């Protein structure tokens, strides 16, 4: 009987911010939002809140539109 408290074999699932598709974290590109814009974090080492996007061109190119829509109301 396997140990139910063990996290061995666990695969973290994340959601693409553009298309909302759920995938394994290893299949998505991670990035952080900086005041100067979007910074991709391929090594996942930046100490900031991560966002994820699919590796498909449609999703990566849709990041600019997503950023404008998301931050539209936060600017004064």
**pLDDT of 5-24, one tens digit each?**
777 888 999 999 999 999 99
State the pTM of this model. Answer: 0.79
Please report, rounded to a whole number, the percentage of residues in the chain having pLDDT higher than 90.
59
Rounded Cα distance, 27 and 1, in Å: 30
Q: How far is CA 60 from CA 38, 44, 57, in A?
A: 11, 17, 5
Scanning the chain, the segments in alpha helix (DSSP H) are 57-61, 63-71
> What are the structural domains, with CATH classification, of the chain?
13-71 (3.30.1230.10)
Rounded Cα distance, 28 and 35, in Å: 23
């Amino acid at each position: 009987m396997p140990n139910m408290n063990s996290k061995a074999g666990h695969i973290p699932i994340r959601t693409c911010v553009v298309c909302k598709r759920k995938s394994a974290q290893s299949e998505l590109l991670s990035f952080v939002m900086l005041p100067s814009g979007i910074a991709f974090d391929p090594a996942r080492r930046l100490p900031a809140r991560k966002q994820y996007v699919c590796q498909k061109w449609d999703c990566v190119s849709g990041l600019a539109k997503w950023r404008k829509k998301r931050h539209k109301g936060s600017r004064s």
